[in-house]
Amino acid sequence: MNFSSELVDLLKNKKELTSDNKAADAIPGMNSGNLSKIRKGLDGRHLNEEQALYIAAECGLNPQWVLVQLAEEKARSEEAKAVWSNLAKKISKSVVAVALTISLVFCGFQSDNSESAVFA
């Protein structure tokens, strides 16, 4: 399954849409014919940046990661795909690090004078 199709599935789950036709209606600039091509991988059809960013916002996804994943999907050479894939991994690691830092700052941690910390 391609990344564009995975994004559509995420949107369908998030908005509890029961069909691709309803998903196509929810995505800016999308129609059921184009969505069908995305699903089948035909004509090199992918979501465009606006559509991918819309889905990212609706689903609470990191927009930078989404655009990099989309660029990887659209890349024509294996070398370009590898570069985009590497960048997506770096972004994912950064997001995890930031989330962990925020969690520690806002939730803190408590120590019960034992050797292990307990997160609040």
Range of the domain at 50: 3-119
What is the model's pLDDT at position 87?
82
Lowest mean pLDDT across 20-24, 85-89, 116-120: 116-120
What mean pLDDT is predicted for residues 1-14? Answer: 94
What is the model's pLDDT at position 22?
97
Task: Supply the mean pLDDT for the chain.
Answer: 84
What is the pLDDT confidence band of residue 42, given thresholds at 50, 70 and 90? confident
What is the model's pLDDT at position 120?
46
What mean pLDDT is predicted for residues 73-94? Answer: 83
Lowest mean pLDDT across 26-35, 71-80, 86-95, 98-107: 98-107
More confident residue, 119 or 64: 64
Percent of the chain surpassing pLDDT 90: 52
Count structural domains, the chain: 1
**What is the per-residue DSSP string for the chain?**
--HHHHHHHHHHHHHT--SHHHHHHHSTT--HHHHHHHHHTGGG----HHHHHHHHHHHT--HHHHHHHHHHHH--SHHHHHHHHHHHHHHHHHHHHHHHHHHHHHH-EEE-SSSSEEE-
What mean pLDDT is predicted for residues 54-64? Answer: 94
Tell me if the pTM is above 0.85. Answer: no
